[in-house]
Each structure stands twice: as structure tokens, then as C-alpha cells.
Structure 1
Amino acid sequence: MNSLFEGGEDIKPVIRKRTVGKSSTKDLDTAATEIVFSVNDYLDFVSATLSQMRAPVVGEVSSFKKHPTGIYFTLKDAQEDAVLECYCNPYIYRNLGVELSDGLQIKAIGYGRVFKRKGKLTFQVEAVELVGEGSLQKAYEALKKKLSEEGLFERKRPLPEFIRNIGIITSKTGAVIDDFKKNLEKRGYMLYLWDTRVEGIGAVPGVIAGIRHFNGRMADMLDVLVVMRGGGSLEDLAAFNDERVVREMYASRIPTIAAIGHDRDVPLLALAADKLESTPTAAAMRVNSSWTRLTEELPAVTFRIFHGWQMAYRSVFARMRRRAEAAYSKLHLLLQKPESYRVRIFNAYVLAFNSAASRLSASQRVVLAADPRRNLRLGYSILKGPDGKVLKEVSSLAPGDAVSAQLSSGSFIARVTEIKKNEQGK
């Protein structure tokens, strides 16, 4: 038999004919069909039906207990004498971003479920929002103290100079993004927007997703990450006091600016940012200030470069002018006394020629004196041993060796018959 509700388990109730009025054949023909559940099936039916009816429920937390199997508490109605037993899975509770305690006013989002053993209705909590200034302030102070003790508000990284690529997390609708863009100076900024809700139940996952997106593949490209929204009450800014959002902001590899309007208490996300600004306009001015050194020093640097070039030009021009004037003076004198300068030039050339000829003659005499053929003409000869090398010592010969003798008129070959050594050759 098909299920009586979508998405539930198959229920097999007992079906019987019920007689209406007096028993008769006619009555039997018009009898109505009645569906009868067993207790177990009916409770399954109720739980399955309630699971399709997720709803927000507002109340005050009481009887709060943490247990290894889950988180148990009661929601009390502020106006009526009514209570709702609640249960939250430990994993879900760790990711709520809110520390619950007795007395807090909350909006719990979830669905009902009946535990069959006791027939008891319990609200299964999937998400929580704080409501009421008192509860929000109490949770804000507790979380602020906790995160401060962990050091999440102490690190303040400097923003890079000459910011150009900017990641923005805010809603694309409204005046926030327009105010930011309008106050940016024209410096070729590249803006990358992550559109998300900045208030309500969808704000927390949206902001977290934006931070993770920009810190993924775009982390090395972006210069700064700006999280923005307009002002509001503590309840309006609840998403920016969520522990999960604050920790994600602190974990950003990109330097961060928080521009979240506030009247009194600074949002915890802003305290975890590297730079805190009160408005989107102030955030834009902060980005513009990364160019301050260039805008302030560029005119002075430009002046120094131009002045240096001008001085160098004047120096070179003056030096070239002096040289030109000197050359002109010499040429002028030369043109005034052509005959005198002609004689002086001719004499200088004659003197240089005679000096070169004298040096050449001396070099010739040295070369001729060292010519081996001159010594041969004087009666000397050159002896070479069997190996063809010039003989310098008799010790390199032996009787019977053939030697060649070079004279000025020719050469001959002789054979050694006797070797005599003088006293110095011993």
C-alpha cells in the first residue's frame, strides 16, 4: 500500500467497514471506509508529517544541559504557560555559532518529532538566532571575552601599498556597495563582489562562503578583502557576532577590512579584521590611502628627476660650448697667421721624420749585429749533431758520430774520430 504522506515510510493501517446507523443491507452499501492506525504507525506518521513542517520558534532557554549524546533544553513561551522540549545534535550545536545558556531569548529553527517510547514531542533544533537586546548583549560579551582570550583580536596586519584588486562581501542591493564604489578614487581598481545576505538566517553561511571563496583560488590575486554592511541594531548585526564568521575572518590569508556600521558595540568580525572602519565610505578612503606615498612623493620625485636632468643638460651644454669656443679661437689664430703656422707644421713634420729615421737606423744596426750569417763570414761555423740540433757541449758526442758543419759558403759532413775535453768540460 502506498504511503499516506510524501517522503515517509510505508504505513499499513488496519482498514475496516464501519456501519453508520442501524444495520441493514442499504446501510452496508453506503458504509464509510475508516483508516485505523496502530500506535507505532501513528507516531511514525506524526513524526514524518512534522519533519516536513520546519518552523522558527521563539522562546526563552531554560533547563539547559549538555550531554555526550546531545544538547537538551526547554523553550518557554514569554506570554503563555507553555513549554517546548528541544534537542540539538552535538555536531550541529558546535556549528551554531552561539553559546546557549538559561535565560537567553532565541529563535530556534527546526521541526517536531515524537519519541515513541514515551510519546513525547521534542523539537529538533537545526539553527539558532538570538533575539532580544538582553540575550544578544549577554552572548556578545561572553563570546567577545572568549575570543579575546584566544588572541583573535590582537593580530593586525598592514594593508599592502598600491591596492588594486579588491574582494567585496556584501549585498549587491542597497546603498552600501554604491557608497563604497562612489568614494574610490580613479586608480584602476578591480572589484570582485560576493553577493550575500547580511542579515537574517542566511547571512552567516553566505559570509563564510564568501570568505572561503576569495581565500581559495583568488587569494594570490587579491590585495585586500572588504566585508561591508550598513548600520543596525545588535540584532540586525547578529550574523557578524557569530563565532563561525569571526573565526573565518581571522583565518583569512588576505588582509581584511571590516566596514560594518554600529551604534555602540563593535561587531566581533570587525574586531578580528586587520582594519576596522565604521562605514563603507571610510573603507573606500582607507583603500585610497594605500596610494598616499605615491601621490605625496611623486611630485617631489618628478621635480628631482627633471631638475637633475636640467642641471646635467646645462653642464654638458656649457662644456660643449667651451670646447667649441676654444676650437674656434685656435682656428681663428690659424687663419690669421697661415704662413707662420705652415712653417711650424712643416718643421714639426721634418723633426718627427728625422727622429723616426734615426730610431730605424739604430734598430737596423742591432739586427745586423745579431745576424748569424755575419759570424759565419768572420770564420765561425755552426755544428749540428746526429739529431740535427746545434752542438753546445762535446759531451753530447761520441767517436764515430756524424756531424754537419755550416759555413758562410756552404756545409759539409764530418765524422768524429777523437774527443778532447778542456779543463772546464771535466
Structure 2
Amino acid sequence: MFPPNEAKPDGQGQAVLSIRDLNRLIKRKLEGEPLLQDIWIRGEISNFTHHSSGHMYFTLKDADSRLKSIMFSSYNARLPFLPREGTRVLARGSVSVYERDGQYQFYVTQMQPDGVGSLYLAYEQLKKKLEQEGLFAAERKQPLPRYPHTIGVITSPTGAAVRDILITLKRRSPSVNILLYPVLVQGKGAAPSIAAAIDEMNRMGEADVLIVGRGGGSLEELWAFNEEIVARSVYASRIPVVSAVGHETDFTICDFVADLRAATPTAAAELTVPHHLELKQQVAMRTAHMQRALVHQLERQQERLAKLRRSQVLSQPERMLQQPSQRRDRLQEQLVFRMKGLVASQHQRQLRMERRLESRSPKEQASLARTRTNVAAKQLQQAMASIHRAKAREWEATLRQLDALSPLKVMSRGYSLVYEEDEKKLVRSVHQVQPGDLLRVRLGDGKLTASVWGIDSTESGSDGETREEKQG
């Protein structure tokens, strides 16, 4: 009944399964049931956790039961909305067992909001996401061309919206070119169709402005214009985009991203091109204004010409030369006066320079140098004499000190120095000589050669008395 590695018979011949083997067996049973491998489940999300790994863990519940569920990051990355606590959803997936816990789970591969309330939740979440990314920013919106030559219309080829747009464009501007790009505006595949049309119109580059829209409908019917793929195509468009989706009360993501939102398709056509009768009226008004301006300018120029004819420049030109002649005379007088002052100033400067040169002549400088040299020589001689006298006194004091410390001076008072025979070592103790040794005795006035005949030493005994030892 069981594979050998999954069952172990007991002593009575009955198979005994491990918990792991049992969970694995149940898992194979569930995964072998085709009905449980691709099913849709409707329920409300609770205990929702978006793990740091990207996986989503939650419970699907209804009024009577609960089901543990998981949606791996590879699947939830494509969700058009962010699941939250209490969101009602339709989930698609398979049923299997998590072997470690022995718990069966629903493995979700697709999920979508259930009902209009959930669609509105998905709409709000995508709107908040794109707004945070800056897709609605006013500073990146492009202005519409004032007088477009070609209008690109991206909508369904059937229905009232396309007729309203075409009729309004031709009524307001008969000369405008219209490029109609038919797309799906509702149902599966509508959003990719609209996005592809916007991209293709940009690639062609023939249109000056794009009208993207459709007629009114429910939230589900307008949902293609709430898809992220459409919003990003509108945002990336180099051609200005006018969004014309639904009625005046309908707002879609496309409206917020577009460069201009129109309340209806008809209003989009009116905002895109000016009315030809209005243009003719403006041209007539500006023509009349230019004519009045030219007449006024001509009158001003005629008046100016009449004033010039009456002016003294033309009627009495010689009077125009009198004032410049007088001014020339005054300038000439000022020039002469300033030149005299400049000459006198330069003369005084020359005299000052001559006096300075005389005071700095080489002869005068040499005389001053000789005087300074003589004074310095006398100061040097005096300083040398003073130094010589000071050094002489210092020398004499040193000699007196050396003479006072000289051994010869001491010997002149009756002292002598006794050396060994070679006169290299001074005899300081009787223990340095023996009877018969020759000694050199130096006196104050000469030297003597002596022989040791005897030695007397004075030593202190243990009893404190002095004992003399004589050797002969």
C-alpha cells in the first residue's frame, strides 16, 4: 500500500507512517487533483503581511471559513493594486501542503479587487504611487501649440466620442489635418492598445498634439485609462497629450498625467484648435489696430518734421556755431593758464631736484665718508687700547696667581720634592723605597742625588702608642 521508504510495519504487520511521510502523501494527493490546481476564490484579506523578501502572507476569509494563503514576490510584483487588510479580492491559484507545518495553503498566482469598491481602491493606490513618482507634476507638463497643423486622435473608431471630436475639429478649423488611430477603449487588451498607439504616434512624429479619450461609462468601462501602462506612455510622450475621457465628473489616471484635461471629447477638440471665425475676427481687429497705429505714427512724424523746419538749426544755422566758438575761446584760455601753472610747477620741481643732487654730489659724499672714517678709526684705536689694558691687567693677575700656586714658590720656603731615580714618579711614602735606592731631591735652587741609608716609619699600634722602626 505504501512505498518502502514511507511505511514501516510494526510487530503486528500494520504500516506506521512518519509525520513527514504523511504530509508528503497528502501533498501529492492534493497536487494530483486537477480541480485544486487552477481555481478562483473570492474572499476578504486578513492578517496581511508583506515580508521583506517580497512574499505576501495573508488569510482569505468569508463569513464561515478561513484559508491560509501566500503569494510569492514573482507573482505579486505584477499586481495593479496593493492588498490591504479588509480588501475583498478574487484570487487565482492552487492548493497544496506546507510539509513542515502539515498545513494546507492556497498558493496565489493572480489577484484582482472584487467589485467597484476594490477598483476604486486600486485606482487610489496607483494614483498615489504615480503622484509620488512625479508623473502629475505641473512643471513637466507641455504647453499646447497655439496653431496646430495636425491633430492625432486616439480613440475607438465607433461611437459618439470620435464623431464629436471630428465634427468639432472641422467646424472650428477646416484646414487642420486629422490622424485617427483606432484603438480598443474597453475590456481586455484596451490598455496595451492605447499605450501602443501613443508610442506609435510619437514614433511617426507627424501630429502636433494628441487627443486620447472615449465617451462616458462606468468605472469598469473606463478602467483602461486607469492602467499604469497608459499613464507611463502619456508621461513619456514628446507630443502634448489632451485627455478626454468620459464626462465632466469622470476623472482617470490619464487625466492627471496628461498635459491638459478636457471635460469631454468635444471640449478636447475645442481646446486643441482655435475657431476660424475667431481667428478672422482677431485678424480684422489687429489689422484695424495696426492701421490706427500707422496713422498715429505718421501724424507724429509729420509733426516732428514741422518742428524741425521751425527750429534754429535749419532757420539760423550760424547761431548754432556761436556758442561752440565761445566755448572754444574759454577752453583755449583755460589751456594757456593751466600750461603756465604746469611750467611753474615743473620749474619748482627742477630746483628741488638740483638742490637734492648738490647735497648728494660725489665730492660731498666722499668728504662725509672721510670724516666718518676718521671718527671710526679713532674710536677703534681707543677701543683697542682699552681692550689691551684690560687684557694686560688680566694677564698680570693670572701670573700672580700662578706664581702663588707654583711648587717652586713653596720650595723656596724650605720644602723639597723627592723623586725616584728616573724622576718620573714622586715619592710620597717610605714604603715606595728600600735602603740603597737612589733618589732625586729637588730644591728651590737646584737638585740633589741621594741614597737611602735607613727608613723610619711612624705607625699607630693597637694600644694607641707610637712605635718607631729603624732599619740600618
Match of 1:112 in 2: 94
Cα distance between partner residues in 1 of 2:199 and 2:143: 21
Letter aligned with residue 198 of structure 2: I
Query: Structure 2 vs 1, CA of residues 267 and 302 (structure 1 numbering), >3 Å: closer, same or farther?
Result: same
Matches within 5 A, 1:53-72: 53=38, 55=40, 57-67=41-51, 68-72=53-57
Match of 1:193 in 2: 181
Secondary structure of residue in 2 paired with 1:184: helix
1:255 shift after superposition? 0.9
Cα distance between partner residues in 1 of 2:67 and 2:275: 55
Letter aligned with residue 179 of structure 2: L
Secondary structure of residue in 2 paired with 1:247: helix
Match of 2:154 in 1: 169
CA RMSD of aligned residues (A): 3.7
1:104 shift after superposition? 2.1
* Contact kept in structure 1, 2:152 and 2:201, CA below 8 Å: yes
Cα distance between partner residues in 2 of 1:158 and 1:278: 18
Contiguous gaps of at least 5 residues in structure 1: 1-12, 14-37, 308-426
Cα distance between partner residues in 2 of 1:107 and 1:291: 53
Matches within 5 A, 1:22-421: 42-46=29-33, 53=38, 55=40, 57-67=41-51, 68-77=53-62, 80-108=63-91, 110-115=92-97, 117=99, 118=102, 120-129=104-113, 131-133=115-117, 135-155=118-138, 156-185=141-170, 186-198=174-186, 200-215=187-202, 217-218=203-204, 220-262=205-247, 264=249, 266-289=251-274, 295-299=280-284
* Contact kept in structure 2, 1:61 and 1:102, CA below 8 Å: yes
Contiguous gaps of at least 5 residues in structure 2: 4-24, 293-472
Secondary structure of residue in 2 paired with 1:213: helix
Letter aligned with residue 193 of structure 1: Y
Query: Structure 2 vs 1, CA of residues 105 and 70 (structure 1 numbering), >3 Å: closer, same or farther?
Result: same
TM-score, normalised relative to structure 2: 0.47
* Contact kept in structure 2, 1:113 and 1:121, CA below 8 Å: yes
* Contact kept in structure 1, 2:113 and 2:122, CA below 8 Å: no
* Contact kept in structure 2, 1:227 and 1:257, CA below 8 Å: yes
Q: Counting helix residues as a fraction of each chain, which structure ranks higher? A: 2
Query: Structure 2 vs 1, CA of residues 45 and 165 (structure 1 numbering), >3 Å: closer, same or farther?
Result: farther
Cα distance between partner residues in 1 of 2:164 and 2:184: 17
Secondary structure of residue in 2 paired with 1:187: coil
1:102 shift after superposition? 1.3
Cα distance between partner residues in 2 of 1:242 and 1:147: 11
Structure ID, larger Rg? 2
1:190 shift after superposition? 2.7
Query: Structure 2 vs 1, CA of residues 288 and 244 (structure 1 numbering), >3 Å: closer, same or farther?
Result: same
Secondary structure of residue in 2 paired with 1:152: coil
1:224 shift after superposition? 1.9
* Contact kept in structure 2, 1:129 and 1:201, CA below 8 Å: no
Query: Structure 2 vs 1, CA of residues 87 and 250 (structure 1 numbering), >3 Å: closer, same or farther?
Result: farther
